[in-house]
Structure 1
Amino acid sequence: MWGQEFQISGEVRQTNGQNIAFANLVLLHASDSSFVTGTASDENGFFAFNNIAPNAYFLQASYIGNSSPFRRIELTSNTSLETIFLDNEIQELHEVVVVSNKPTVVKKVDRLVFNIENTALSESDIWEVLKNTPSVFVMNEKITVKGESGVQIYINDKRVQLPQSDVLQLLSGTGASAVQAIEVISAPPAKYDAEGGAIINIKMKKNLVSGYNGAVFNRYEQGVFPQQMLGTNHYFKGKKLETSFNYSFGQEKFLTRYTDVTYFMDQGNVRETWTSYLESIDKRKKHTASVFLDYPLDDNNTLAFSSIASLRPLGNARDFSDTRIQEQDTPNGSGFYTNIDSESEGVNTAFYLDYIRKLNPEGARLSFNSHLTYYQYEREQLLSTDFYDNNRRVANENDFSTTNDQQTNLYSLQTDYQSPIGEKSTLETGLKYALINSESRIDQVGFDRDQPGIDPTEKGVFLYDEHIWAAYASFQTQGEKWSLKSGLRAEYTETTSNFSQLNKKVKKDYLELFPSLYLRFAPHDNHQWGLSVKRSIARPSYDKVNPFQVFQSNNSVVEGNMDLQPSFKHSAIFSYTYQSDYTFELFYRYHTNIIRLLTFQDNEYELLRFRTSNVDRELAYGSDFIYNKGVAKFWDTYFLASYFYSAERFVDLDSQQKIDQGLWTLLVKWNNNFSLLKDKSLSGNINFMYVSPIIRGNSRQEKYNEWEISLKKTVFGKRGILSMGLTDVFKQFNLRNTRKYGNQYNTSVYRPDGRIFSLGFRYKFGNLGIKDNYRSKNVEERNRL
């Protein structure tokens, strides 16, 4: 029985006896309703599932919104089913009314699943869906999970390997109609790379019907300056070949304001106050494209090729700042004006080749993956400074220029094996090798060498190589009321750093183990308990280990750190869910050597130093409360409140003393989704986010919040989607950071152009019954470009 395979066949007809061509048929395991396979009926309404192992299954047929009841099949031999009938009266209606249900949140053993299929959210784009996903915070185009950064975006378990700004363009230009669910994995299991934080995995629907569909879209945004993005998506599925192509082009121009106040100290007293007002205008264009090709060689072997590319043509930025210097007890102050003109361009392209072999009908499979990434970034900057006296007359000037570029190549090979053990258990194991080669160059000329404290890297080359060998094993099993998943991942890393000015190589190597454990116990339909324990690593990005000193003005410098160490995080989460609507969690997180960008003031030379360093440790513990409920037929709401204590210990750059800072913090997320009009063709969202004061490195970040509203209307028989939205409605999103301890006393305020009005339109054409195969790839090293 174990080695046998059988066929399930039958016909799909209307109640008047007419055959139904291209009806969708789905086969599910009867034990847990998990997906087995799918197919479509031919021109005569006939369908067949081949090579199916003996077991108990559910079968369902559907066509244009009509579905048959689930039919149970006990498969022990080739089975020909009685004709499946679908009602033809509903199919003959001139318009089909689709009722949107509220998204469903499901707690699994190692992740939270946010089902959006057949809801109002499926008519938006994927970026909009992420804003409405439980536990996910999107503010100022930055993604966090419950306030934790380092989030990785995956599609169908494959990572989107692009910088976050390009991820925004990619997901904003991809419709959510093909999305089945969003998975939030707070503590990724052993199968995933130990590098990084939480994972957001976008699960796409299964492809059942052959054909072609596509879409064109345009989005206009207006803040202080206008911005626009347009693009197109195309998908084709033939008898064997399955391919998709996606392209978007964006033009951006945005204004950002900064205010920095530094109180330079002398023996505990304020000697001078430096106040800098900066306006930055960035103007750039971006091209993002992807292509995916899947070709099944036969029923058991599949070959796939993929490529993702992001191109930034030459763009420019112009900054102007006025820095005013006020001495104590002096009515008039001196200062300086600074103009910065810069140009930058870059390219990031990746290629993937995958081979998947099905080993047996029970689900055993073996896969091989190869990957290559080429990344290059170049930037030129010209800085001009005029110094003025107490009467604001120009007394001196200084001009200097900076040119730097980075080129990185990533290579990786990976193999994975997965096999069921009996009916309730699964074993996964795999190996991976990754090679990273990075070269950075800098050239800075024109400095006033008589200014104290100025010692920039005038000219230098930095080479960085990294080798990672990894192996993992994971085991999952479940009983009637419980589930368990455990795993162990081992990673051995070798790094070599070579800085031309030091004229020596720095080598490091380390072997680390990363265990993980997940438990879920559901003694009753209304009660569910969960526990997860995980260890992970965060390696420094390739530009952060670059030791160059790059001056942004005459009194501010950004410094890399060749001595950066990897950081390690230990986390544990205990949860309880009642009736799927109420969840209470207790969590603990201990992070050693956490990597932070710290700001220090040099009181002797009157400089601000922005230096990436290893913070000694971060400690956090607290609780989360989650409420997810349909308030009315047209209104559902999601509410998250996270209250926790967070403390960080860092080393003061001047005194070399360890300093502890801690604070209780409250995070709030409140999403409201509305389905309006009789046919549910109008939907709206009102979202609110709030973060109370929080500790970040050696800074205290003050509270901030944001309101957002949006509307969507389907038109032209649901082929067109018109959207409109407004972010930061009350213009309350400002980030104020203060550093006040020992001889440090400075404040910085970041004010982005957050209030943005957007207007968009997407038009879909072709066969809308087929689904997109859009996905990306999993190579964690690209995240550190």
Structure 2
Amino acid sequence: MGQEYKVSGHVKQTDGAEVAFANILLYKVSDTSFVKGAASDENGVFYFDNVIHNQYLIRASYIGNYSGYKLVDVNSDLIVDTLFIDSTGQELNEVVVVSKKPTLEQKVDRLVFNIENTALSDSDIWDVLKSTPTVFVKNDGITVKGEGGVQIMINDKKVNLPPEDILNLLSGTSAKGVQSIEVITTPPAKYDAEGGTLINIKMKKNLIAGYNGAVYNRYSQGVFPRQMLGTSHYFKGRQLEASFNYSYTQNKILTNYTDITNFIEDAQITDTWTSDLEVIYRSKKHNTSAFFDYALDDNNTLSFSSIGTFTPSYLTRDFSDTKIQNANNGDTSGFLTLNYAKFEAINAAFYLDYVHKFNDLGSKLGVNSHFTYYDYDKNQALETDFYDGDGATVGENDFSTFNQQQTKLFSVQVDYSSPIGENANFESGIKYALIDSESYIAQEGFDRDQEGIEPTEDGTFFYDEEILAGYASFDANWNNWTMKSGLRAEYTETQGDFSNSTDKIQNHYLELFPTLFLQFNPNRKHRFGASYKRSIIRPSYNKINPFQVFQSNNSVVEGNVNLQPSFKNSVIMSYTYNRDYTFELFYRYHRNVMRLLTFQDNESKLLRFITDNTDRELAYGLDFIYRKEISNSWDTYFLSSYYYGTERFTDILSLQTLDQGLWTLLLQFNNNFTLLEDRSLTASLNYSYVSPIVIGNSRQEYYNEWGISLKKNIWGKKGTITMGLTDIFKQFKLKNTRKYGNQDNISIYRPNGRIFSLGFRYNFGNMKIRDNYKSKETDERDRL
């Protein structure tokens, strides 16, 4: 049990000539997951060391030509039959060895999207996410097949930032260092129970000692221009690996909103308010990261990492014109609001890791400690002028708000893993996390005799949270079965104190989170799977903050100190035929879902955007997935998801409980092309469509979007030129309606989605090195 063997063999062309420097890949038969890679020597000989007993597939490739797959059963040292590659030859001035992974791989618990050889690899990471199969990005939020609560990870560490900071970080970071995007639908117990589906961004690592670097620039043009400039540096020595990455982004972005509200009294419409809002964002942002891995000896490694984002300037100018039409006499009046806001922030994270290997069989102990410091200041000034039916100014109301927040996060985690016999593995660990947050707000100049919103009194909000977690997991392979199972327990204590309230916020709870994944492969053409996952979503720190963000004199976004955590249960049953056709039946039950709900206050004539818990979300349906490498130059992916989704919520004014449900269709169609004889030109063409869907107390109408990207390697791959165009036909907009009881309003979101981008990257140094991007984040940072 646990014995390891050597597998060797020969690679030849069909004419009998040995093939030097061919790529040989070893896959598990059970789930076609990649195990190892090797290259043949000058005589066409290859070998794999340390191969455990199992059934494998072996395949050789060389300059776009492939051998057939060979099935081997490894239970002793083995010499496999010769692998033959098509003898069609090409005369080359030099030999460039490239191992091309399949663009899409379906593994036991995740879908892997390999972007290295696609046109997306020279865009930014945010654009890559928008083109990742099963991932939908709308209104700068991320869902997977219509399911929210998605968590972002980089190299298995969560990116715990506020949503706007996640957007800035990923849109300001080149995807050149990304190896793949993993969409993990059933996360193992090792990962925190926070969220449901995980998106893991896997970065490349150095393979050969030496130094290399790169500089890159990306220009984008919508209504306004955007710019990203960056540099990356990597070094690998005998004991030390280090990397440093820096990027600077400067953006100017236009977004338009329209809110139409029919205010109601005694079941009759009294006024119709139409507010057209134009928002212009201007931002400057610096992203830095530094990583140092030092091998103390063969069994002990010490790592230090630091990630920092500095936003010296984030300015918004909101101009809205709200027209008020009286339903009885048709008279029109209104008000103009000019809203200036300035945002500054520092977000710095530091990590210290230690890993000890007990033996060559794979047993190891890891210790990780983490500290984050997050500090931001936001100042806002509103100037409102009221006008009558003749357009004459009849009043004004100007005021300013000042908001500060400081959050400190600390965590320490210990993990132990060990193989059990030949085909099983056990893993367990504990974690402690502490969060300390303090916020302050002040207002000046508000005229309380004027109608409209009433700002919060000056106040301070303190919030502390402690989490203690432990987990154990087990995975095994036997015959044609694969199993992953685990149980995670998390104990949470929260305390909040708002100076304007006598009520203290106190909460404590212990919850269990089981996971289970089973897969059965009776043969190479059929695969059956089943999974179950329970997860939690805790309130983010900005959502539980009671302070307000003003959009106009009669429109406000409000936090909610009474938010409760939500719990989600997901079940998936799947069948895959010939690795290309997959059918999935799924069921999802989500209790206490946190939604940004829109309510109209008919008495005070206010439009309030409030984050609150809805009673529950229920969804069930069928997914169909088709993925195929149609040729050596074209691979495609198609997703169709048809499901019934319903939400139950309580109207905050009438306290009436309501149910809303719809059958929804999601479509996604991705194509990747590799062109020219030297395969130096790649292209991606993507399409997505979402039919009407229920979200919270809103019905969102359908939307669709096309996107294209191109990449051309030049100067022997030292240079890369990229071009892209998103929302080609300018079709993307979101329209949400709420019509029930005493609610009758519409919100329309129209971003500047059609963006043309042009990028250039130059690589220098030892180009045999693969990039060594790494990044580490922890769990609680996503709720800042």
Could you tell me how far 1:100 is from its partner in structure 2? 8.9
Structure 1 match to 2:290? 291
CA distance in 2, matches of 1:33, 1:702: 39
Residue identity matched to 2:643: F
Contact 1:152 1:198 survives alignment (8 Å): yes
Name the CA distance, whole Å, in 1 between partners of 2:231 and 2:176: 15
Closer/same/farther in 2, CA of residues 619 and 75 from structure 1, 3 Å limit: closer
Q: Which residue number in structure 2 is paired with residue 430 of structure 1?
A: 429
Task: Give 1:328's aligned amino acid.
Answer: A
Take 1:570 and 1:633, find their aligned partners in 2: how far apart are those partners?
Answer: 40
**1:320 matches 2:308:** no
What displacement does 1:493 show?
0.3
The secondary structure found in structure 2 opposite 1:768 is coil
User: In the aligned structure 1, how far is the partner of 2:571 from the partner of 2:327?
Assistant: 51
Structure 1 residues 625 and 61: CA distance shift in structure 2, 3 A? closer
Aligned residue in 2 for 1:82: none
Match of 1:197 in 2: 196
Deviation at 1:401, TM superposition (A): 0.7
- Report what 1:729 is aligned to: 728
Deviations 1:364-392, CA, capped at 9 Å, x for gaps: 11000000001111111111111111211
2:708 is matched with 709
8 Å CA contact 1:170–1:288 kept in 2: the answer is: yes
Is the contact between residue 453 and residue 605 of structure 1 (CA under 8 Å) also seen in structure 2? Answer: yes
* Structure 1 residue 458 displacement after superposition: 2.1
Q: 2:404 aligned with 1:369, yes or no? A: no
Greater Cα shift, 149-158 or 589-598: 149-158
8 Å contact kept, 1:40–1:208: no
CA contact 2:30–2:480 (8 Å) conserved in 1: no
Query: How far apart, CA to CA, are the structure 2 residues paired with 1:163 and 1:506?
Result: 22
Contact 1:102 1:630 in 2 (8 A): no
- Per the TM alignment, residue 406 of structure 1 is displaced from its structure 2 partner at its CA by 1.1
Q: Does 1:644 align with 2:643?
A: yes
Match of 1:740 in 2: 739
Q: Within the alignment, does 1:460 sit opposite 2:459 as a pair?
A: yes
CA change 1:430–1:137 in 2 (3 A) is same
1:130 paired residue number: 129
Kindly tell me: are residues 679 and 206 of structure 1, through their superposed partners in 2, closer, same or farther at Cα, counting changes over 3 Å?
Answer: same
Residue pair 1:99, 1:680 contacting (<8 A) in 2 also: no
User: Counterpart in 2 of 1:654?
Assistant: 653
When the two chains are superposed, the root-mean-square deviation of aligned CA atoms in Å is 4.0
Q: Distance in 1 between matches of 2:60 and 2:25?
A: 7
- Check whether the contact 2:124–2:172 (CA below 8 A) recurs between aligned residues: yes
Per-residue CA distance 1:218-273 (angstroms, 9 max, x = gap): 11111111111110111110111001111110001111111111111011000011
Partners in 2 of 1:540 and 1:710 — Cα distance? 37
With over 3 angstroms needed to count, the CA separation of the structure-2 counterparts of 1:32 and 1:559, relative to structure 1, is closer
Shift of 1:606: 0.7
Q: What residue is the counterpart of 1:527 in the other structure?
A: 526
Trace 1:28-39 onto structure 2 (pairs within 5 A). Answer: none
In the other structure, the counterpart of 1:568 is 567
Question: Structure 2 vs 1, CA of residues 284 and 453 (structure 1 numbering), >3 Å: closer, same or farther?
Answer: closer
What secondary structure is seen at the aligned counterpart in 2 of 1:130? Answer: helix
Residue 782 of structure 2 aligns to a residue whose secondary structure is: helix
Is structure 2 residue 454 aligned with structure 1 residue 441? no
Name 2:260's counterpart in structure 1: 261
Contact 2:672 2:682 in 1 (8 A): yes
- State how far apart, in whole Å, the 1-side matches of 2:346 and 2:385 are: 35
CA deviations 1:550-596 (Å, max 9, x no partner) are: 44322122222111110000110111111111111111100000001
Alpha-carbon separation, structure 2, partners of 1:780 and 1:223: 34
Mapped to 1, the partners of 2:138 and 2:174 lie a distance apart of: 21
Could you tell me which amino acid in structure 2 is paired with residue 218 of structure 1? N
In structure 2, what is the Cα distance between the partners aligned to 1:509 and 1:56? 47
CA–CA distance in 1 between the matches of 2:37 and 2:577? 34
> CA 1:451/1:172 → structure 2, altered by over 3 Å: closer, same or farther?
closer
Shift of 1:108: 2.5
**Which residue matches 2:689?**
690
Measure how far apart 1:203 and its partner are.
3.0
* Alignment map for 1:358-437 (pairs within 5 Å): 358-437=357-436
User: 2:540 aligns to what?
Assistant: 541
Distance 2:633 2:37 in 1: 33
Amino acid at match of 1:416: D
1:779 equivalent in alignment to 2:772 = no
On the 8 A contact 1:482/1:521 being kept in 2, the answer is yes
Equivalent residue, structure 1, for 2:104: 105
Within 1, Cα distance between the matches of 2:219 and 2:64? 33
Whole-Å Cα distance in 1 between the matches of residues 53 and 109 of structure 2? 27
TM-score (norm 2): 0.90
SS in 2 for 1:297: strand
Aligned to 2:665: 666
Check the 8 A contact 1:348/1:375 in 2, yes or no: yes
More moved, 706-715 vs 369-378:
706-715
Structure 1 pair 60/334, CA: closer, same or farther in 2 (3 Å)? closer
**Structure 1 residues 308 and 203: alpha-carbon distance in aligned structure 2, compared to 1, 3 A threshold:** same
Change in 2 beyond 3 A, CA 1:28/1:591: closer
Letter in 2 for 1:644: Y
1:669 positional shift: 0.7
Q: Would the aligned equivalents of 1:224 and 1:254 in 2 still touch at CA under 8 Å?
A: yes
| CA drift at 1:154 | 2.1
Does residue 186 of structure 1 match 2:185?
yes
- Aligned pairs for 1:205-216 (under 5 A) are 205=204, 207-216=206-215
Shift of 1:180: 4.0
Q: Post-superposition shift, 1:630?
A: 3.2
Cα distance in 1 for residues equivalent to 2:761 and 2:192: 36
- More displaced stretch, 166-175 vs 397-406: 166-175
Matched, 1:270 2:269: yes
Query: Which string of whole-angstrom CA distances, capped at 9 and with x for unpartnered residues, describes residues 434-472 of structure 1?
Result: 000111111112222123564421200000000000000
Counterpart position of 1:768: 767
Q: Secondary structure at the match of 2:467?
A: strand
Q: Distance in 1 between matches of 2:5 and 2:156?
A: 30
Partner Cα separation in structure 2 for residue 240 and residue 332 of structure 1 = 78
Aligned to 1:597: 596
* Worse-superposed segment, 548-557 or 243-252: 548-557
Mark the CA change 1:443 to 1:638 in structure 2 (over 3 Å): closer, same or farther. same
Matched with 2:81 is none
More off after superposition, 204-213 vs 291-300: 204-213
Distance 1:444 1:716 in 2: 58
> Greater CA deviation, 542-551 or 666-675?
542-551
1:733 Cα shift? 0.9
1:165/1:244 CA distance change after superposition, 3 Å = farther
Match of 1:763, as an amino acid? Y
Q: Report SS of the residue matched to 1:782.
A: helix
Counterpart in 1 of 2:279? 280
Deviation at 1:91, TM superposition (A): 12
1:713 Cα shift? Answer: 1.1
Aligned AA for 1:737?
N
Alignment pair present for 1:144 and 2:146: no
| Bigger mean CA deviation after superposition, 243-252 or 625-634 | 625-634
What's the counterpart of residue 500 of structure 2?
501
Identity of aligned residues (%): 63
Contact 2:441 2:547 in 1 (8 A): yes
8 Å Cα contact 2:250/2:284 also seen in 1:
yes
Structure 2 partner of 1:613: 612
Residue in structure 1 matched with residue 247 of structure 2 by the alignment: 248
Structure 2: runs of 5 or more not aligned: 9-19, 79-84
Q: Which amino acid aligns with 2:427?
A: E
1:164-196 superposed Cα distances (whole Å, 9 cap, x missing partner): 444455445655565443321112121100001
Q: 1:670 to 1:75 in 2, by over 3 A?
A: closer
Give the whole-Å Cα distance in 1 for the aligned partners of 2:62 and 2:640: 42
Q: Is the 8 A contact 1:596 1:615 kept in 2?
A: yes
Question: Whole-Å Cα distance in 2 between the matches of residues 635 and 29 of structure 1?
Answer: 25
Residue 755 of structure 1 is matched in structure 2 by 754
The AA in structure 2 aligned to 1:215 is A
Contact 1:707 1:727 in 2 (8 A): yes
- Preserved CA contact (<8 Å) 1:437 1:464: yes
Which residue of structure 1 aligns with residue 343 of structure 2? 344
